Chain A
Amino acid sequence: MGISLDELNSLQIDVLKEIGNIGAGNAATALSKMISKRVDMDVPKVNILEFRNVAELVGGPEVEVIGIYFKVTGDITGSIMFLLDKKSAKLLINLLMGMMDEGEELSEMGFSALQEVGNILAGSYLSSLSSLTGLNLVVSVPSLAMDMAGAILSVPVILFGQVGDKVMLIETDFNEGTNHVKGNFFLIPDEDSFETLLKSLGVI
């Protein structure tokens, strides 16, 4: 039977938080290499919260955000999603492409760049998870969507909703100079994979 977030003990939550920290650290390093600039990272905050409160983190369900979604296969199955607000996405694109585009809108090229960042972040995140757990993990190509936060978030919330009423998300802030990129990261193991993940981490 699957394990839900609602029934995790504090040790299991701490271990999941630590994975979040390490994964985000690796992702920041990857990002730094990609833009050839120093990228600092605040200590990620790992939140486990009721799904009705998730959208408030990004300013409410109607705020326009960008979601980059990946499927994970291998020894465990599940999904990964990055959530960026529009301002952070724009900053990230400008950093990557060395542009100073002040406009509100995102170009096709900008979207491609974001998918690529997503790829690298997800890849570095998963490889750290893989080396910690010894599990073989494969990440899919990204799928990107820009829409209302509520609609984008419905995807991870539904996935988590199959086993409980809470979601786990990792809030990560990246800083390059005075630029500040705020990202949220969801790691969503499928129902049966949660147990495998916790077992491989030695907390079951």
Chain B
Amino acid sequence: MADVIKVGMADMNTACSPSILTTLGLGSCVGICLYDTSTKISGMVHIMLPSSTQIKNNSNVAKFADTGIVKLLEDMIKLGARRSKIVSKIAGGAQMFSFNDASDIMRIGARNVTATKEILKSLNVPIIAEDTGGNHGRTIELYSETGILLIKTIGYGTKQI
């Protein structure tokens, strides 16, 4: 059995093949999975907010899309990942509660997804698959042996991307 490494809220971790990275119950947060197709070194970060620049208390880099993705890339490269071979898959960013007036804070899931995409683009990391938005939670598992991302839900089935 491969090791299963848990990634909590506002947390990140890296793994080598054949370990599995997982984060449980993603809601409006976004799970960003990075994967080096050559060395099979993988990484996952569970971000809560789009940007560290508007927040006073920003010491936890894994909490924000901007700082979290950059730090995860650095950690993977330290482990021997090849920058040019790293691709990404993203999941999460749901809107758990709906209101008629879509205030900013209610759309935090969508804002997290937008910020994540912008940052990955600026870092030249291609997004090869995503399962974002909607109004349901997701548990994700990244298999570092294959790069497959398994997504489990309650009532919306299970899929691989």
Contacts and interface: CB of A to CB of B under 8 A. Distances in A.
Contacts, number: 106
B135 A145 contact: yes
B135 A154 contact: no
Interface string A143-180: 11101111111110111011111000000000000000
* B24, B29, B96 interface centre (most CB from chain A within 10 Å): B96
Interface residues of B, number: 31
Contacts of A61: 24-25, 139
Instruction: Give the secondary structure class of B's interface.
Output: loop
Interface string B28-54: 110000000000000000001100000
Contact of B27 (A51, A60, A154): A154
B154 interface: yes
B27 A163 contact: no
Contact of B137 (A51, A140, A152, A163): A152
B97 A157 contact: no
B122 interface: no
Given A62-B139, A158-B29, A67 B24 contact: no
Contact of B24 (A1, A2, A64, A150): A150
Nearest to A51: B9
Contacts of A140: 99
Interface stretch (B13-21, B55-63, B68-76): B55-63
A161 B139 contact: no
Nearest to B99: A143
A152 B105 CA distance: 14
Chain A interface size band reads 35 or more
30 contacts: A1-B56, A2-B56, A4-B57, A52-B8, A52-B9, A55-B24, A67-B96, A67-B97, A143-B99, A145-B135, A147-B154, A148-B138, A148-B154, A150-B25, A150-B27, A150-B139, A151-B94, A151-B136, A152-B96, A152-B137, A153-B25, A154-B26, A154-B27, A155-B28, A158-B29, A158-B48, A159-B105, A162-B55, A163-B55, A165-B10
Interface of B: 8-11, 24-29, 48-49, 55-57, 60, 63, 94, 96-99, 103, 105, 108, 135-139, 154
